Amino acid sequence: MSHAARILADSVSPDGVRLTTMEVVIPRIVLAEFNTHRMFSRNSASSRAIPVEKMLKRVIEDPYIPSEWGQNQKGMQAGEPVSLQDVQRAQSAWLGARDLAVGQVEDLLDIGIHKQWTNRLLEPWLWHTIIVSATEWDNFFHLRCHPHAHPDIRKTAELMREAMENHHPEELDYGQWHL
């Protein structure tokens, strides 16, 4: 998996109000940032609902790995990109942490611990799919397509904006529904 945005339904009312529904894939670690946008109606899978074995397979075969590695500095944004050698070290450390988490989840499974706890340990390496609908997108795009936004929410937001810019909504009449 990777960052993705696909329009599922897109319509405009006789009053000119556009309603767009997308399927979006983001790294699980930026879900909280995505959920701060209260203009969205959204639904996404719960990590409590998915069998542990399936989550382990996802994390092992297709882990989320940060798309950018920046130098540490004060504030919310990373500094300049690190060297290629440091990128390789960072990715190795990231996947090493994943491997440790996988081992701990396997230990918890051996004990018989429920997936509502075990799956939580895997979240930093998971991709997350969301169905989102909204009529107001400008503020989201203004904040999340900005260079200071987290790189991985920015990447998805740019894909979402591009999908909307390249899609023509269906014109609906009164009494018709966006389905």
Identify the burial level of 3 via C-beta atoms within 10 angstroms of its C-beta, where 0-12 means exposed, 13-18 middle and 19 or more buried: buried
Is the Cα dihedral 2, 128, 121, 71 positive or negative? positive
Taking the CA of residue 155 as centre, how many other CA atoms within 13 Å lie in the half-sphere pointing to its CB?
A: 12
Looking at residue 49, its pLDDT comes to 85
CA distance 69 to 73: 12
Show the tokens assigned to 83: 């060297």
Looking at residue 73, its pLDDT comes to 93
Q: Residue 139: CB partners within 8 Å, gap ≥ 6? A: 37, 39
Looking at residue 48, its pLDDT comes to 82
Per-residue pLDDT tens over the stretch 106-144: 999 999 999 999 999 999 999 999 999 999 999 999 999
Looking at residue 157, its pLDDT comes to 98
* pLDDT above 70 coverage of the chain, percent: 100
Q: What is the DSSP letter of 30?
A: G
pTM, rounded to two decimals: 0.91
Per-residue pLDDT tens over the stretch 62-93: 999 999 999 999 998 999 999 999 999 999 99
More confident residue, 179 or 158: 158
CA distance 134 to 128: 19
Helix (H, G, I), strand (E, B) or coil at 134: strand
Show the tokens assigned to 169: 């909504």
Q: What are phi and psi of 127, to 5 degrees?
A: -90, 150
Per-residue pLDDT tens over the stretch 24-53: 999 999 999 999 999 999 999 888 888 999
Return mean pLDDT, the chain: 95
| Section 143-162 average pLDDT | 96
H/E element holding 18? strand 18-27
Looking at residue 115, its pLDDT comes to 93
Total count of residues recorded for the chain:
179
Res. 179: pLDDT tops 90: no
Looking at residue 152, its pLDDT comes to 94
CA distance 77 to 167: 32
In Å, what is the CA distance from 31 to each residue of 35, 54, 90?
A: 6, 20, 22
Residue of 156, 150, 161 lying closest to 68 (CA atoms): 150
Looking at residue 119, its pLDDT comes to 94
